[in-house]
Amino acid sequence: MKLKNWFWAILGLVFLGIRFLASTFPEKTEQVYSEGIFLWIRKIIDQTLGILPFPSVYFFWLSVILVLIYFFIRLRKKDSLRNKLGYTFRAILNGTGALVFFFLILWGFNYQRVPLTKKLRLDIRPLELEEVKREIFETEMEMNRLRPQIHSDTSAFEIPWDYPVLETEVRKELEEHSHLLRLTYTGRPRTKQVPPKGLMRRLGILGIYWPFTGESYIDAALHPLEKPFTIAHELSHSLGVTDEGEANFVAWVIGSESQNPHLNYTSQLRLLLYLMRDFSRMDPEGYAEWVKTLNRGIVNDILSIRKNADRYPPISLEFSRAANNVFLKTQGVKEGVKSYQQMPMLVHAWRKRN
C-alpha cells in the first residue's frame, strides 16, 4: 500500500488528533490559532475571494463537481469490480480527510478556543421570571425611543435596504466595537446574499458561514428588519466566534452600541423576540396581558416579519434543525441548536456587569 495514495485520509486523521489536543489546551489554541494562524487566513481570503462581487461558494461547488467528474472518469478505467470498490473506498476516505483538513485549518479550530463568555467573565444562568420581565421592560423602552427615528407612524417598517450599503455599515460597526468583546478584527469579512431568493429560508436557515470560502451568506428573502442582525451574526463567525448563542450576543452588542437607529432597533427587536418566547413559556397569562400594552408599531413590525417568513415555508424544518444540532454537538457545542436561545442570558449578564 502506497501511503501517497492515502494522503488526504492520513492528513485528516492527523488533524483530528491535533483537534483533540487543541480542545485540551484552549488558551494555547486561542493564542496560536485564533489570534495567529486564523487571522492570516482571514486576511488572505478577504483580499482574494472576498473582493468578488458574487458568492465564492459557487467555486466550492464547482470544485466538488469537477472532483466527482474526475472520480467517475478514473472509476470507469478500473478493470474489475474489486478494483472499482477499492478505488471508491479510498476516494471516500481521502475526500472525507480533505474536508476535515480544510474545515479545521480554515476555521474549525476556533471551536476549541476560549469561549467568549469566559473571556468576558460573564456569569450566565437561566433567568427567573422577574429578570425576564425587567429585561423586556428595558428592551421595550429602548425600542420605543428608537422606532420614531426610523419610522414616522405605527405601520410596519418594510423599506428595503441598499444591501451593499447595509453590509458595509454593519461591518464598520463590527470593526469599531469588536474590542468591547475582546475580539480581534482583521481583513474585510463579507456576508453576501445568495440567490435564488427564499432557498435558504426553505431549508430552515436565515444565514450560514461557509468555512471553505471564508464567507457568510444570507437569504435575500429576509425581511428588512431581519437583515442587519443576521449580517452581524454571520460576520461574528468571520471573527472566529463559533457558538451560535455567542454570535447572537455579539450581533446584539454591535447593534446596541451603534449610533445608527436602524441597526440598534433591529438588534433590540431580535432580543425582544427571544424574551417574548421565554415570557410566554414562563407566565402565559402575564404574557397575554403584557402583549396588549406593547407599542402598536413594534407589534406591526413583528407581524410583518412573520408574514414575510410565511411566504417561504421550510421544506423540512425538523431535518434542518436535527442536522444542525448534530453538527454543533460534534464540534463541542453541548447545547446544540439550543445555544441560539442563550441570547437573553448573555445580554442579562452583560448589562449586569456593565
Written as tens digits, the pLDDT of the chain (354 aa) is 577 889 999 999 999 999 999 999 999 999 999 999 999 999 999 999 999 999 999 999 999 999 999 999 999 998 898 999 999 999 999 999 999 999 999 999 999 999 999 999 998 899 999 999 999 999 999 999 999 999 999 999 999 999 999 999 999 999 999 999 999 999 999 999 998 899 989 888 899 999 999 999 999 999 999 999 999 999 999 999 999 999 999 999 999 999 999 999 999 999 999 999 999 999 999 999 999 999 999 999 999 999 999 999 888 666 556 655 554 555 445 554 444 568 999 999 999 887
Q: Could you tell me if 138 and 272 are in contact, meaning their C-beta atoms sit under 8 angstroms apart?
A: no
The pLDDT score that the predictor gives to residue 204 is 83
Contact 248, 145 (CB under 8 A): no
pLDDT of 338 reads 47
Q: Are 183 and 239 in contact (CB under 8 A)?
A: yes
Q: How far apart are CA 342 and CA 245, in angstroms?
A: 5
Phi, psi values for residue 127, rounded to 5°: -85, 145
Instruction: Find the DSSP H helices in 151-243.
Output: 163-177, 199-202, 227-238
What pLDDT score does 5 carry? 86
The set of residues, in sequence order, having a beta carbon less than 8 Å from that of 118 and lying 6+ positions away, is none
